[in-house]
Amino acid sequence: MLIRETTETDRSTLLGIQRRAFGRDMEAHLTRDLLRDPSAAPRLSLLALDEDRLEGPSALGHILFTAASLDGAPHVTVSVLAPLAVEPDVQRHGIGDALTRAGLARLTQAGVDLVFLVGHPPYYPRFGFQPAGPLGFEAPVPIPPEFADAWMVVALRDGLIGAVSGGVRWAETFHRPEYQGA
C-alpha cells in the first residue's frame, strides 16, 4: 500500500471514497468545503492506494487534517483530523490505521503539537488519543454529555498535556449548519 499526499486531480476520487464509506454525501461535501476553506490551511490530505492491482493503482482510503488554534496559546500548533474514510469493501484491513499513523507522523515532522478530533472513542486511543475535555480542552462546538468522550486529543510533542489548555478554534467550514453533527 502506498500513502501519498493528494493532488487536485485526486479530488473526485477522494470525494467518492467519502461518499461510499459513509453512505451519504455530508462527509464528501465537508471534505470538499474544507479543501476550499482558507481558514483550514495548512492542510494535510492523504490518499491510500493499492498498487498491486493488475488494472492499475486503486484508491482505498482518504484522511484529512486541517489547521486549528488553541486560545491563549499562539505558540502551540494545532490540527484537526476529519474526516477519515476507507472504501467499504476494504474496511477493517488496516487502511484507516495506516492513514492515521502516516498523517500523525507527517504532522509530527511538520512541527504540529496537538491533534484534535470528534470520533469513535473505541477506535482512536490506539493512536494515543484521549478524551480532551477532562484535560482542559474546550470543543469548538457543543458536544452532548453522552458523547463527551468523542472529543479527543493526542499530543505530538511531550510536555503539552497538563501544561496548556483552552478553547480550540477550527476551520469556519465546521461551523456551517449543514455540518453540525457531522
Mean pLDDT of 151-180: 95
Task: Find out whether 31 and 64 touch, Cβ atoms under 8 Å.
Answer: yes
Summarize pLDDT for 113-161 with one digit per residue, the tens. Answer: 999 999 999 999 999 999 999 999 999 999 999 999 999 999 999 999 9
121 cis-preceded (ω within 30 degrees of 0): no
Summarize pLDDT for 47-63 with one digit per residue, the tens. Answer: 999 977 656 568 999 99
Grid cell, residue 132, equals: 480532551
Strand partners, 70: 168
pTM over 0.75: yes
What residues have CB less than 8 Å from 9, skipping those under 6 apart? none
Grid cell, residue 17, equals: 471514497
* pLDDT above 70 for 94: yes
- Nearest-angstrom CA–CA distance, 107 and 100: 10
Domains and CATH numbers, the chain: 2-176 (3.40.630.30)
The three-state secondary structure class of 159 is: coil
